[in-house]
Amino acid sequence: MRDLFQGLPGLFDLRGWFQGVFSQDPHPVFQFIRYGLAGVAAMAANVLFFALSEWFLFPVGEAGEADVLSFPSRWSELGPWLSEMGSNERVLNYVKCNVVAFLMANVVAYILNFRWVFESGRHSRHVEILLFFAVSFVAFVIGTALAGLMVGSFGMNEYLAKIGDIVSAILINYICRKFLIFKG
């Protein structure tokens, strides 16, 4: 653990930190900072395209009393509940907005991860792109399901639900990109 911090500038050496983040061969701590900055850019693209989709294409709207579906208390109620969720216009529009946001944010994320954060070469470019989007898709499905549950069952504001979606995606994507997709 101690070796992880060797070679880093002093805590208040802002110039050293700036140079480290933008160096050719960054220290692992600087690489993580780069991942965070790339993630902020991808998240901004995600939220921007989600909002644009919600405003212009698929309005989610406010939750009314009839829109909120209580989470089933027994397993036998799960199938009918899922069927109702699938026909809930708020949930469907949330998912549509999230698909648009997912695709656009992943284009931004791939370009930044490939060009600036990680080293390519563990796989061919085609396999790398396929794995990148596959892992992102798994994170997307998990996050969308979580957010759909928040919107459909708890009547939560779609932007608060989006936070849970984003946090789950960050965790899944970093681990998989660092150890499975890119060289390191």
| Distance of alpha carbon 142 from alpha carbon 85, whole angstroms | 16
Query: Could you list the pLDDT tens digit for every one of the 184 residues in the chain?
Result: 566 666 666 667 678 766 766 677 766 777 778 888 888 999 899 999 999 998 998 887 765 545 555 666 666 666 776 676 666 777 788 888 988 998 999 899 989 888 777 777 778 888 988 999 899 889 888 888 888 888 888 888 888 888 888 888 888 888 888 888 887 6
Are 39 and 113 in contact, with CB atoms under 8 Å apart?
Answer: no
DSSP for 104-117 reads: HHHHHHHHHIIIII
pTM of the predicted structure, to 2 decimals: 0.67
Question: What's the number of domains the chain is made of?
Answer: 1
Nearest to 181 by CA among 115, 113, 116: 113
Domain of 33? 27-181
pLDDT of residue 157: 85
Long-range CB contact pairs, 26-29, < 8 A, 24+: 28/4, 29/4, 29/5
| Host H or E run for residue 128 | helix 125-154
- The answer to whether residue 15 sits within a structural domain is no
Asked, for residue 126, whether it belongs to a domain, the answer is yes
Q: What is the DSSP string of 32-84?
A: HHHHHHHHHHHHHHHHHHHHHHHHHT----PPPTTT--PPPSSGGGHHHHHHH
| Structural domain includes residue 17 | no
pLDDT at 69: 59
